[in-house]
């Protein structure tokens, strides 16, 4: 949540555009590891099981984790753990903006420091 507020701050200051943010969101989506890949890495599913989940998804509207639970391959708790791992593996929007070249690392650091100064000045 704080990252989104910071990115809005960057846009309000003219550091990035709405198009830059959309590109960063798309890049972040592309860089986020799929649940099936994480399940393989964590040795919760085999390649054969992942394939079966993906095939079953063709006939259903279920998300990967839901389908894996329905097939009995994962428990709801395991899906929650994989989703948490996925969230931790996802790059932040500020990082994406830098990696895409919309801002330099140094300028991002300066803006972050300004943001922190400005927001902490608002707190009594």
- The tens-digit pLDDT sequence of the chain (124 residues) is 678 899 999 999 999 999 999 999 999 999 999 999 999 999 999 999 999 999 999 999 999 999 999 999 999 999 999 999 999 999 999 999 999 999 999 999 999 999 999 888 776 6
Q: Are residues 22 and 38 in the same domain?
A: no
The boundaries of the domain holding residue 83 are 34-89
Domain tally, the chain = 2
d(CA 45, CA 80): 15
**104: exposed, middle or buried (C-beta count within 10 Å: 0-12, 13-18, 19+)?**
exposed
Same domain, 44 and 81: yes
Query: What span, in angstroms and rounded, lies between the C-alpha atoms of 46 and 51?
Result: 9
User: What single-letter DSSP state applies at residue 15?
Assistant: S
Phi, psi of 15 (to 5 degrees): -75, -35
38 and 80 housed in the same domain: yes
Residues 13, 46 within the same domain: no
Q: Is residue 82 located within the same domain as residue 51?
A: yes
Question: Is the same domain home to 84 and 104?
Answer: no
> Is the domain of 38 the same as that of 84?
yes
pTM strictly above 0.85: no
């Amino acid at each position: 949540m704080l990252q989104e507020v910071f990115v809005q701050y960057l846009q309000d200051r003219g550091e990035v555009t709405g198009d830059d943010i959309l590109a960063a969101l798309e890049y972040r989506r592309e860089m986020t590891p799929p649940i099936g890949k994480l399940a393989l890495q964590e040795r919760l599913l085999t390649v054969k099981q992942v394939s079966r989940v993906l095939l079953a998804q063709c006939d259903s509207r279920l998300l990967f984790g839901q389908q894996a639970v329905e097939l009995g391959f994962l428990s709801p708790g395991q899906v929650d753990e994989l989703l948490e791992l996925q969230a931790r593996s996802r790059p932040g929007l500020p990082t994406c903006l830098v990696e895409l070249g919309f801002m330099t690392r140094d300028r991002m650091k300066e803006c972050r420091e300004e943001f922190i100064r400005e927001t902490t000045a608002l707190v009594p």
